[in-house]
Amino acid sequence: MNSYKYILFDLDGTLTDPKEGITRSVAYALERMGIEVPDLDELCKFIGPPLKDSFMRFYGMSDSDAQAAVSRYREHHFSQGGLFQNVVYDGMRELLESLKSQGKTLIVATSKPQAYAVQILEHFGLSQYFEFVSGSEFDGTRVKKAEVIAHALKECGIDKARAVMVGDRSYDVVGAKSNGLPCIGVLYGYGCREELEEAGADFIVATVSELKDLLK
């Protein structure tokens, strides 16, 4: 495998497991919008894609209603502690430490608001490993994964020939391809092998340990 200098990581479902915080916040938003709340496991489909798009896609909301749902989501996610109802995947700290010691430049590229991503990394003691965090803005700017990745490439002056994206959903793969980057799909998050293969992932790994071996 190419010895990549720059490694871009998705956050939710790749660095950390945000299931509890995201599903509970989505449930809160749906309830406030007068929509019957399903089993929380059914809301895992919200992990990864931009929130507004998901409310429109899965619940047929209009643009304005979806934006209102996002506001309700953030209300719960921030004020009720949902932001930190998160778990760092086993072996992830060791992986990041290893890559950092090898002189790799690590970057976070997430559709989550950049301000939230920074807080999560700091809360879990992961910020020390990353040179830059690229995320969306609260006003809806830079919410698509392709835009997030493009922003990271530009701000960090990255040579695309020496960079790779790591993520768990098709959005990560498509976003990487749109920017001319290869992508490693991980199966320990919230995407399945079929989803990642159809999107065109260059490599697919099942565990953090396999990811570490691939990135050596």
Nearest-CA neighbor of 156 among 136, 173, 132? 132
Cβ atoms < 10 Å from Cβ of 51:
24
HEC letters along the chain: CCCCCEEEECCECCCEECHHHHHHHHHHHHHHCCCCCCCHHHHHHHCCCCHHHHHHHHHCCCHHHHHHHHHHHHHHHHHCCHHHCCEECCCHHHHHHHHHHCCCEEEEEEEEEHHHHHHHHHHCCCHHHCCEEEEECCCCCCCCHHHHHHHHHHHHCCCHHHEEEEECCHHHHHHHHHCCCCEEEECCCCCCHHHHHHHCCCEEECCHHHHHHHHC
Active site residues: 10
Amino acid at 72: R
